[in-house]
Amino acid sequence: MNWLRSVVRRVSQRVRARSVPSVPFLTPSTDSENRTLLPRQIRRSYAGKLASLFLVVIVLFAGVAAFEYRTVAAEVQSTAHGDVQQTARLQANQLGEWMQQRRETTRMLSSYEMYDTPSYILNENLKSERAKLPLGYTAIHYADARSGEVIASSNDSMVGERPWRDTTFVSDAGSRFADDVVRSDPYTSPSGERVVAFASSVSSKSNGVLVVTADVSVLESRLETNMNGSFVTVVSEKGTPMFTSGESDAGGLDAESPILAGAVSGKSGVVEREADGAMDVRHLLAYAPSGDGSVVLVYVPTSTAYALQDTVGTHVLLIVALAVVSLAGVGYLLRRITVRPLDELATAVARLRSGELETELEVGREDEFGEVFAGVAQMRDDLRDQRDDADSYREVMERTAAGESFDGSGLDSDTALNPDDGPDSDPVPTPSADGGRVSSDVGPTDK
């Protein structure tokens, strides 16, 4: 029976040489697993690796977008602060010019040589001078510095009145040198107008004071900004409100406020403040001295000042969201055209390795995956043919062992027994014609 064992051994060697585990494509490798830092769950999943890559891209993209947003936001805030501060300076300059013009007008009128005339003539002269002044001037009065009584006026109803009796406004003007002009705080005149008065001592009269009143509504109409929701307030050096634009009622500032102290010392600036009594939202407050003993305050909501920042932030969020959606769409498509076929291929290969050679494979694709599937399908068919050949060998061997003769017709040319397969191959004995004796193709040996 040595010849039978030799045949079986040769057949087994052929089958093992062509078995599935020896195919490198089907043999898993663990070398890469030993060289990576990725978690095992991600290493074993192409979809996990793809998702991780997309996640890294999204995080990097979001990080760059956030950095750019912070850069733009800083620039926007710096620009907004500069714009608001510049607005406060312009308003302060405009207020200073308005005050200076009325001071010069008051000083000029007080220097005229008309105050020695009788009061009824002086009234007419004052009316004539009032008519020459531009809009915004409401009246011209000549008053006694000691009593504050109006002696003559462009407004007849004011003669004999003492509208400043509760203040030292007139007496202060009478005690100063002729070149000094005193300004009052805004007040409501007997005629119902909100005015501010300027007084200068009359050089030709020792106790005479000339008072010019100006309508502050004209000034307040100029205290406007082009920023939505903003307004302008003018306060005195003590923080008392003097003028304001629009319908706002911001109030004044604390006399000990650092803002007021800085403005009185000639400085201008801008600060960001939370909601308070002046404005019920977070806002910017710019301040600048007018040079006339008053301070201009500009209030601007941060939603207006930083509108560009909010717009940029919205656009950045939209871009990041669009990138996430786009990558999600790309990932979904890659899953359909890449991950799913790979999963199917891995399942098919696993079934082939387990010996299920009847596994069906999709070979209709025309891309690279189609070529891979076709190659695996061809390998499956080859393994199936080898299995059939092995079965044929087994049947032949069983018949031979039973004493039956065979001619090798059941074997294909590729796998038929051939005693000349190699120098180390064993000779294949064949049964003799009489069915009992065994002949060999090996020559006789010397004894």
- Please tell me the distance from the alpha carbon of residue 307 to that of residue 315, in angstroms, as a whole number: 12
Q: Which amino acid is at 230?
A: S
pLDDT of residue 432: 40
Helix axes 307-334, 46-110, angle to 10 degrees: 170
Over residues 260-294, the pLDDT tens digits come to 888 888 899 999 988 887 788 889 999 999 888 88
Q: Classify residue 442 as left (phi > 0), alpha (psi -120 to 50) or beta.
A: beta
Calpha distance 367→382 (Å, rounded): 23
Tokens of 262: 């800085």
Q: What is the pLDDT of residue 138?
A: 92
Mean pLDDT on 133-159: 91
Question: Residues 98, 103, 107, CA angle at the centre, nearest 5°?
Answer: 155
pLDDT in tens, 218-258: 788 778 788 888 888 888 888 888 888 766 666 677 777 88
pLDDT value, residue 10: 58
Closest CA to 98 of 237, 298, 243: 243
Could you tell me what percentage of the chain is helix, strand and coil, using 3-state DSSP and rounding each to the nearest 5? Answer: 50, 15, 35
The 10s digit of each residue's pLDDT in 154-208 is 999 999 989 888 888 888 887 765 458 898 888 888 888 889 999 998 888 888 8
Which CATH code fits 97-303?
Answer: 3.30.450.20
User: Of residues 276 and 443, which shows the higher confidence score?
Assistant: 276
Q: What single-letter DSSP state applies at residue 350?
A: H
Query: pLDDT by residue (tens digit) across 48-106?
Result: 777 888 888 888 988 988 898 888 888 988 999 999 999 999 999 989 899 999 999 99
pLDDT band per the 50, 70, 90 thresholds, residue 361: confident
pLDDT, tens digit, 9 for 90 and up, residues 11-42: 455 544 544 444 444 445 545 445 556 677 66
- Over its C-alpha atoms, the chain yields an Rg (Å, rounded) of 53
Q: What is the domain partition of the chain in residue ranges?
A: 97-303
Quote the pLDDT of residue 426. Answer: 46
Higher model confidence: residue 84 or residue 433?
Answer: 84
